[in-house]
Amino acid sequence: MTNKKVALVTGSATGVGAATALGLAQRGYNVVINYSKSEAEAKMCWAPFKWCVPVCRI
């Protein structure tokens, strides 16, 4: 078991939400990506982070 922090950032596919999620990921957080209609933007935003692995899609 790890003590790694988890962040849920709503609207994290675009804009301020994306910037916040990226910043948290760079600081070592596990980040939950949340979007409702921005799947393509979410994929583009997170493409540089090859080490990111989708956990689930709801």
**Higher pLDDT among residues 10 and 55, named by residue:** 10
Query: Looking at residue 49, what is its pLDDT?
Result: 63
pTM above 0.75, yes or no: no
**Higher pLDDT among residues 53 and 32, named by residue:** 32
**Higher pLDDT among residues 46 and 16, named by residue:** 16
Nearest to 31 by CA among 17, 21, 18: 21
Cβ atoms of 56 and 29 within 8 Å: the answer is no
C-alpha span between 7 and 24 (Å, rounded): 8
**Higher pLDDT among residues 26 and 50, named by residue:** 26
- Across the chain, mean pLDDT equals 76
**34-38 mean pLDDT:** 76
